[in-house]
Structure formats: structure tokens, C-alpha cells
Amino acid sequence: MRSMSHVVGLMSVLGAGLGAFGCSSSPDPQAPPEETPETVSSELTLREFASIARGAVAFLDRTPNGLGGNGRACADCHMPSDSFQLSPANAEARFQALQTRRQTHPNADDPLFRPIDADDFRTNGANATDFGNLRQNGLVRVTFPLPASVKLINPATGAPTPETFVDVWRAVPTVNNVKLTGADANAPIWPCAPGGPPVPCVPRGPNPSGGYQLDGRAANLQAQALGAFFAHAEIQTAPSQRMLDDLASFQNVLFSSDGVRAASRAIDTGVTPVPDADPVLDALEQQGKTVFARSCAHCHGGTAGSKPIPTIERFGSIQAACPRPVDGPQFPGYAGTPRFSFAQCKPQLARNTRLYEVTLPDGTKTRRPSSDPGRTLLSGVFLGGGAKDDWQALDIPSTRGMSKTAPYFHNNSAATLEEMLDHYTEFFKFVNAAAPPFVPRPAPISTDGIHVDRPFTPEERPALLAYLRKL
């Protein structure tokens, strides 16, 4: 039997190699205390330890034997020094460092910058060089086949295009805490989409109780890794099942803090109650935790802060895609004075917007612009808005470790925790304005279905920020 501290030892051995992926070998004064056998007591079999070790090596391997990829490793996008995510700041820093190296070494390379993630890839192919989305926004290209019910519209002619696929641009999320962020095992509230008589049962996309990737399309970590290998590393030969299992084993021991790791271990061993994953909180942070429990935990619940309570959909839109709603006559009760005002998307994000035409369950068509239609690209379903709609809906991310994973949202559109709370302030107002003016009130804004009492107040905001910074 081997303890988890041996895995930490393995990471120390690999530390020198992480420098190539932007991970400093010097101690980080902001990093959590190094784990010791006294703080980690879970046991691993030799077989489990070996799988984790192989997975760690595979995570760092830019040239996995026999796969024929483009030189990218998992760690090129999920940077160990960036909490296993990719921020725009680090993408730009790597681009500038590459240009500096090329002044003396013209063939210098950084596999992060491959044509597949260039803005001009669809026009220039292997010669593409415009990495605006990657450098400015920290976003990578994700390609989807268009469902039969979804068409792209030519902005010049107003007619549907012959395109059979669409590119959207999404952030690279952290792989910390993925052990706790998969399916929630709750049956979806909506098994079928409504329609005219007879009511058709419309599939609502894969993994309705959650999965991996920002839209939950991957059922498990093995499927997630396989998709990334083909889409982002552009491998030519599929990896072995053992490699995929090893990568899953490695990712399943990545946690944002000792507290989250201890809670995960308790869940695995059937300990009840599961210990609180929070660190020690001061008075202000404890006040913020109380605000979080009322305002945020109905969606960001559970140990990892990613599991909604059963009455909340696993997938939903917080209106972070572009363009964002503007209050007007289309919302009930509009009287000329805007009741919400989202910060509109910056030009470097707004440029990713396309116009879509969706055929509704009753056969009628509607057109909506969006930079990312979310789960509609998996299900083909658009219901016209509301909590049970697939339009722009994405999975609920973990809040654990979020103080180290700025920027926020699927398109990195909130640069700071403050900007994130600014957005949620307007989102709560939006839900209140868009909801029918009668009870029950939507769960995102009401604890009892009657009163609008979930939104945090300006007076509560400092405490909530203090708590979020501790997660």
C-alpha cells in the first residue's frame, strides 16, 4: 500500500519538467502548504499509484508514442502554474516569450499556438497565424456539427448557409476537483421538450444529469481526454484505453485544497457527515458563507460547489454569451425604464457572435444571435427562454479554488471576482424581469417561490467577496 503523499513526491520529481509548461520551479508563497503524511492519510494500492504516475507523465507528454499529434500536451492548455487552466494573461505572456525566443532562434516553438486555434484557420488552414481569441480572451476553438434543427444565417443575404458545423470559442477550465464535478445522479426535471399535440419527446442532449467539458457532453474523464486528444492535440491514432484510464486517475487526485481533498476522501470511504471543505474563516468570511448559502448554493452546491439542488436544472444560461439581453417590451412589465443592465461584451468577444435559425418543436422557426448556443448545439432544442431551455445553457462549474482561476465564465468575460458579482447582480434582476409576474417565483431568485430574497445586497457584497477569495 502507498499513501497519497507518494503522489505528492512524484509531483516534486516531475517539478523540473513542468518548467516547459510555464510552471515555476521556485516555491510559490501563495501556494497551499505542502502535503505531508500527517495531512494525507488515504491509501493507494501499488496498481493505483502506478496508474496515477503514468497519467501524470502522459499529462505532460508532448509527443506521446505512436499518436502522431501536433506537439501539444494536456499541460499546454491546462497549465499547472495556472491552476490547471489557461488565462488570457498567460496565453499572451507565452506568445510574447515565443516572439522573443524567435529573434535568436527562428524555429523556436510553443505548441499552444497551433493553426487549429487561430482565428483565421478556416480561411488559411495550416498557414493561419491570427491568435486573437487565444491571446486576448484565452479561448480555444470547439467545433460542433449542427443539429438538423439548427442553421447558420448569412448576415449579408439573410438566408441559411450550407454550413454543417460551427466553431464556438470557449475557455479552458481547470481540471482541479473534477473528481467531484461529474454527474449529480439527479433525474432531469425535463425528460422531454413541450410541443403541440401529440406532444413529442425531444432528446435533450447527452448526459442530462451532468458530465465533463463546459457543456457536459463527455460522460466521463476518459471521453473528455479522448475528445481533447483529437480536437486539440490533433492526434492521428487513438490512444490506448490504459492511457485514458491513467489520465483519469491522475486528474482524480488534483484538488484545489487539502480541505476539498479530505472531503472527497470522506465521500469515497462513506464518512458521514462529510467534513466541511472550507478553510478556517474569519468573521467577515463566515458572513459571506451565509450569503453564499442563500444566493449561490442553490446552483453552486455540494462539496465542489458545482451540484445544483434537485429543483434546479443541471444546465442553464446566466446570460454571459454575446450579445447580452437588453430590457425592453419583450419582457413582461416593461414600462420604459430598464430593470437590468448587463455589461455588454467587449469587441474581442462580440466578434464571435453568429446568427442562428432554430426550428422549434411545433415546426415554426426563430432566429437568435449568439456567440455560443450552448447545449442547443447538442440537443437542437430551443424553447424560447426560461430555466428549462437549452439555448446558451452550460454546465455549472465548481466554485472551489475560484480565487486562483480568474477570469470567469465560459468565455472569460469577467476579469475579476468583482466583475463576476456585477454580472450576477444584473442576472438576478434579469430573472425577475423575464419571469411571469406571478408565483411561484423562479428558484434562482426565491427561496420560497414567493419572495425575491436570494439576490445578495450591496451591503452583503464585501462579505461574499471575502468568502469567495477563501475558496
Contacts of residue 187, defined as CB under 8 A and 6 or more positions apart, other chains included, come to 209
Other residues' Cβ atoms within 10 Å of the Cβ of residue 109: 13
Average pLDDT over residues 106-129: 98
Average pLDDT rounded to a whole number, residues 67-78: 97
Residue listed under C-alpha cell 434546479:
312
pLDDT of residue 247: 98
Look at residues 33, 92, 150, 30 and name the one whose alpha carbon lies nearest to residue 390: 150
Which range (182-196, 239-253, 312-326, 434-448) has the least confidence?
Answer: 182-196
Residue 232 and residue 119: Cα distance in Å, rounded? 14
Q: Give 185's pLDDT tier (boundaries 50, 70, 90).
A: confident
Report residue 461 CA to chain centroid gap: 24
Q: Is residue 361 over pLDDT 50? A: yes
Query: For position 332, what pLDDT does the model report?
Result: 86
pLDDT at 386 over 80: no
User: pLDDT value at position 23?
Assistant: 44
Query: Nine-digit cell at 136?
Result: 486576448
Total Cβ atoms within 10 A of residue 153: 18
Nearest alpha-carbon partner for 314 in 324, 295, 301: 301
* Residue range 130-173, pLDDT digits in tens: 999 999 999 999 999 999 999 999 999 999 999 999 999 999 99
Q: Both ends of the chain: CA-CA distance in Å? A: 32
pLDDT range class, residue 310, cuts 50, 70, 90: confident
Averaged pLDDT for residues 410-422: 98
In eight-state DSSP terms, residue 134 is: I
Percent of the chain with pLDDT over 70: 87
Task: For 13-40, write each residue's pLDDT tens digit.
Answer: 344 344 444 443 333 333 444 433 333 3
Q: What's the pTM value of the predicted model, to 2 decimals?
A: 0.90
